[in-house]
Amino acid sequence: MKFTIPLPLQHEHEALHEELRLATQAEGEVGEAAKTLAQLMHPHFVKEDQFALPPLGLLAALARGEWSAEMAEVLTLTDQLEAELPQMLAEHKAIVAALNTLRDAAARTGRSDIVTFAEALTEHARTEEEVMYPAAVLVGQVVRQRLSPRAPTAE
């Protein structure tokens, strides 16, 4: 079964990639800070696209009570997310530090558009940490629960 990142998240990531691409074209310290940020973010975005965000494609179906045995295939992704979550959170710390550097450089040079981008991307990272990653982990837990045989009930 193929698990697809929900479209609003895909669109948000595409917009963030484009804003970062534009920021890397800025002159001087702003462009350099954006390039450093891009180098940190690229491998992180790849991981998110591979295993952290696709499980979220099952959220709506699971919330509606829908179930199929094929959904069990998502456990490969959610298990990988759980295993790599400490590393991904550490990457977020490095990304946020680079975002702060970018924001400060942009503020010094009057690039309010890049300041706004840096602040939005910092908030996006917090949303991933506090909402998206935990929701993806919960998808795996719900699927695992539905796979396990029910415990006998006491009468």
pLDDT of residue 97: 98
**How many other C-beta atoms can be found within 10 angstroms of the C-beta atom of residue 130?**
10
Rounded Cα distance between 152 and 98, Å, is: 53
pLDDT of residue 149: 73
Rounded Cα distance between 28 and 109, Å, is: 9
- pTM (2 d.p.): 0.91
For each of the chain's 155 residues, which pLDDT tens digit applies? 899 999 999 999 999 999 999 999 999 999 999 999 999 999 999 999 999 999 999 999 999 999 999 999 999 999 999 999 999 999 999 999 999 999 999 999 999 999 999 999 999 999 999 999 999 999 999 999 998 876 555 54
Contact 16, 124 (CB under 8 A): yes
